[in-house]
Chains A and B, each alone.
Chain A
Amino acid sequence: MQQTPNRLSPFYENLVFERDDNMMIVNFGPQHPSAHGQLRLILELDGEQVVKAVPDVGYLHRGMEKMAENMIYNEYLPTTDRMDYIAAASNNYGFALAVERLLDIEKEIPRRAEIIRVMLLELNRIISHLFWLATHALDVGAMSVFLFCFREREFAMDLMEDYCGARLTHSAIRIGGVPLDLPSDFIDNLYAFITKFPNDIKDYEGLLTENRIWKMRLEEVGNLTPEDALNWGCSGVTLRGSGVAWDIRKEEPYSIYDELDFEVPVADKNDSYGRYKLYMEEMRQSVKILHQTIPLYKESEPGLMAKVPQYVSATKEEIMTDNFALMQHFVLVTQGMRPPVGEVYAATESPKGELGFYINSQGEPYPHRLKVRAPSFWHTSLLQHMLPGHYLADVVTIIGNLNIVFGEIDR
Chain B
Amino acid sequence: MRAYSNKKNAQAKPYFTDRFYTVPQIPKEDVSSDEIFAADLELLSSKFEISDSFIQRGQLVMIIKPSDIVAFMKVLKDELEYTFLSEMSASDFLEKDGEFEIFYQMLSLKKRKRLRVKYRITQGDAVDTITDVFKSADWAEREMYDMFGIVANNHPYMKRLIMPDDWSGHPLLKSYPLIGDEAGQWYEIDTIFGKEYREVVGPEIRDTKRVDPKDTKNFARVGHEVGYGEKPSNKPTDFGEFQEEGGVPLITRFTKDNQKTLSRRK
Contact = CB atoms under 8 A, between A and B. Distances in A.
Chains A and B are bound partners: yes
B59 A345 contact: yes
Contacts of A61: 162-163
A381 to B, nearest CB: 4
Interface stretch (A83-91, A174-182, A230-238, A277-285): A230-238
Interface in B1-60: 11-16, 21, 23-26, 56-57, 59
Contacts of A233: 84-86, 134-136
B16 A335 contact: yes
Given A356-B87, A363-B24, A366-B12, A231 B135 contact: yes
Contacts of B87: 345, 356, 358, 371, 373
Contact of A67 (B23, B59, B86, B178): B178
B259 interface: no
Given A246-B109, A342-B57, A368 B91 contact: yes
Given A7-B193, A10-B191, A345-B86, A335 B25 contact: no
B19 to A, nearest CB: 14
Contacts of A343: 26, 56, 61, 103, 116
A230 B14 contact: no
Interface in A21-71: 57-58, 61, 63, 65-67, 69-71
A359 to B, nearest CB: 10
B164 interface: yes
A219 interface: no
B115 to A, nearest CB: 10
Contacts of B85: 233
B89 interface: yes
Interface string A222-240: 0000001011110000000
A20 B161 CA distance: 28
B112 A252 contact: yes
Contact of A341 (B25, B161, B193): B25
B194 interface: yes
A244 interface: yes
Contact of B91 (A232, A244, A251, A360): A360
Nearest to A244: B109
A7 to B, nearest CB: 5
Given A57-B161, A358-B105, A232 B135 contact: yes
B131 to A, nearest CB: 10
A241 interface: no
Interface residues of B, number: 49
Contacts of B112: 251-252
Contact of A378 (B13, B14, B23, B136): B136
A347 B115 CA distance: 12
Contacts of A410: 162
A363 B135 CA distance: 35
B86 A347 contact: yes
Contacts of A154: none
A278 to B, nearest CB: 17
A27 to B, nearest CB: 15
B161 to A, nearest CB: 7
A385 B21 CA distance: 52
Nearest to B193: A7
A181 to B, nearest CB: 20
Contacts of B187: none
A344 interface: yes
Nearest to B15: A335
Nearest to B167: A58
A10 B192 contact: yes
B114 interface: yes
B178 A66 contact: yes
Given A57-B162, A231-B135, A233-B136, A363 B23 contact: yes
A102 interface: yes
A317 B114 CA distance: 41
Contacts of A230: 83-84, 109
Contacts of A358: 87, 89, 103, 105
A230 B133 CA distance: 11
A192 interface: no
B203 to A, nearest CB: 19
Interface string B79-118: 0000111110101100000000001010101001010100
> Which among B12, B61, B89, B193 has the greatest number of chain A C-beta atoms within 10 A?
B12
A274 interface: no
Contact of B86 (A344, A354, A369): A354
11 contacts: A65-B172, A71-B12, A246-B109, A335-B15, A340-B24, A344-B57, A347-B86, A358-B103, A358-B105, A364-B14, A369-B91
Interface of A: 7-8, 10, 57-58, 61, 63, 65-67, 69-71, 101-102, 104, 228, 230-233, 244, 246, 251-252, 335-336, 338, 340-345, 347, 354, 356, 358, 360, 362-366, 368-369, 371, 373, 377-378, 380-381, 384-385, 410
Closest 7 CB pairs of A and B: A342-B26, A233-B136, A363-B23, A369-B91, A58-B162, A381-B139, A340-B24
Interface of B: 11-16, 21, 23-26, 56-57, 59, 61, 83-87, 89, 91-92, 103, 105, 107, 109, 112, 114, 116, 134-136, 138-139, 147, 161-164, 171-172, 174, 176, 178, 191-194
Given A8-B192, A380-B139, 13 more contacts: A58-B163, A65-B172, A66-B178, A71-B12, A252-B112, A340-B25, A340-B26, A347-B114, A358-B87, A366-B11, A378-B139, A381-B136, A410-B162
